[in-house]
Amino acid sequence: MKAAAKRIVLLSASIKINFEYQKSVIFRLGIFSHVRGLGVYLTILIIDQIKQVDRRTITIDLESQDTVTKDSVTVGINAVLYYRIRDPEKALIRVKDYNFATSQAALTTLRNIIGQHKLDELLQERDKINSRICEIVDEITNPWGIEIERIEIKNLQIPKPMQRAMAKEAEVAREKRARMIKAESDYESTIKLTQAAREIAKFPVALELRRIQMIAEIGTEQNTTTILMIPSDILSLAKDVSQPISKDK
């Protein structure tokens, strides 16, 4: 009975299980043997050493760091790194601590790329910069069996004096656009008034008749009687204008 119990204990200790998201790297007598995936498998006690690797996406919050941009502005950068282990064998054999090594490669690359761009580019081309950083870090970690899925810059902290300067610049730009819109409107109004003046110059009586009409309308609205003194030359001019119309009829 004791021998049977020992065999059962040894057998149970030799049985290993991997979940769907796990892979196990097996070292036999300290030498890499093989990689086992999903399911149940047996190992040799004492001789085999098992290193389980999680192949799900791993997230690292890269610590905030101060970096100088190409135009000599000190900014605080905070980013997030997403990666997964593509080759468990390489991740365990070719680098001592793949998680630490990957984060340091991302931090170094992030600092270098930020230093190659101006502040305006960081604000306007963040997606493009994220993609470039991701490509470079992926090239570094590829020999370790690490696949970089993406890197995202979360926060970009700008010094307060620079924030005030940028706000002032934006305000000046808005005022400039407003002045340009007003100038265009004034220009169009001037063109229309000039055209109207030319037409009125051809028929002076039209201006006087319009003035009389406006006065009459005001009197009607205020319920008052208005007496107008119409110059004789206006009446003569109106008569001259009306004669061709009568002949046409």
Q: Which of 164-168, 173-177, 238-242 has the lowest mean pLDDT?
A: 238-242
pLDDT of residue 22: 93
Strand ranges of the sheet holding 146-157, from the earlier edge strand across to the other edge: 58-68, 74-85, 146-157
Output DSSP code: residue 227: -
Average pLDDT, the chain: 81
pLDDT of residue 71: 85
Confidence of residue 63 (pLDDT cuts 50, 70, 90): confident
Model pTM? 0.64
Q: Which of 51-60, 130-139, 189-198 has the lowest mean pLDDT?
A: 189-198
Cβ proximity of 145 and 85 under 8 Å? yes
Asked whether the predicted pLDDT for residue 26 surpasses 80, the reply is: yes
Q: Which residue has the higher pLDDT, 18 or 184?
A: 18
pLDDT of residue 160: 74
Asked whether the predicted pLDDT for residue 108 surpasses 80, the reply is: yes
Cβ proximity of 42 and 26 under 8 Å? no
DSSP letters of 86-152?
A: S-HHHHHHS-S-HHHHHHHHHHHHHHHHHHTS-HHHHHH-HHHHHHHHHHHHHHHHGGGTEEEEEEE
Q: Which residue has the higher pLDDT, 48 or 234?
A: 48
What does the pLDDT average to over 11-39? 90
Alpha-carbon Rg for the chain in angstroms: 42
> How do the domains of the chain map onto residue ranges?
11-54, 57-158
Q: What residues are paired with 61 via a beta bridge?
A: 80
Q: Which fold has domain 57-158?
A: Tetrahydropterin Synthase; Chain A (3.30.479)
Q: How many other C-beta atoms are found inside a 10 Å radius of the C-beta of residue 158?
A: 17
Q: How far is CA 239 from CA 109, 204, 235, 236, 244, in A?
A: 89, 13, 6, 5, 9
